[in-house]
């Protein structure tokens, strides 16, 4: 243990493959949830209407 800075106690963590996989799955779900509805709405609009809304 490092008594001068306590860095071992404050930052003792491990990055495991399970944590990385769950982070990737979470970011994929958040991207789909956040990006799919606006993309579907934009795809259904006529081009002229979509350009006017810019």
In whole angstroms, give the CA distance from residue 9 to residue 6: 6
Residue 10: pLDDT band (50, 70, 90) is low
Contacts of 42 (CB under 8 A, 6+ apart): 50
Q: What is the mean pLDDT of residues 20-28?
A: 97
Q: What is the pLDDT of residue 8?
A: 57
Residue 27 has pLDDT above 90, yes or no: yes
């Amino acid at each position: 243990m490092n008594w001068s800075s306590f860095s071992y106690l404050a930052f003792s963590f491990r990055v495991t493959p399970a944590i990385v996989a769950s982070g990737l799955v979470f970011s994929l779900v958040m991207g789909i949830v956040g990006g799919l509805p606006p993309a579907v709405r934009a795809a259904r609009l006529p081009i002229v209407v979509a350009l006017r809304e810019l």
